[in-house]
Chains A and B, each alone.
Chain A
Amino acid sequence: MTTAIEVNCATGEVTERELTAAEIEQRVVDAAAAATRKAEEDAAAEAKAAAKASAQAKLAALGLSAAEIAAL
Chain B
Amino acid sequence: MTNDDDFAAYQFLAQETEDHRWAFGTGFSDPLEGIDTSVPAGVDAAALAAYCLALGDDALIYSHRLQQWVTRMPELEEETALANIALDLLGQARLLLSRAGQAEGAGRDEDRLAFFRTEGEFRNVRLVEAADADFAELAGRLLVFSAWRLALFGELTGSADPVLAAIAGKGVKELTYHRDYAAQWVIRLGDGTELSHARMQAALAVIWPLFDELFRADAVAARLPGAAADPAGLRAEVDGVLDAVLGAATLDRPEGAPMAPVAGQTGRQGVHTEALGYVLAELQSVARAYPDATW
Is the pairing of A and B real?
A: no
Task: List chain B positions with a Cβ less than 8 A from chain A.
Answer: none
Task: List chain A positions with a Cβ less than 8 A from chain B.
Answer: none
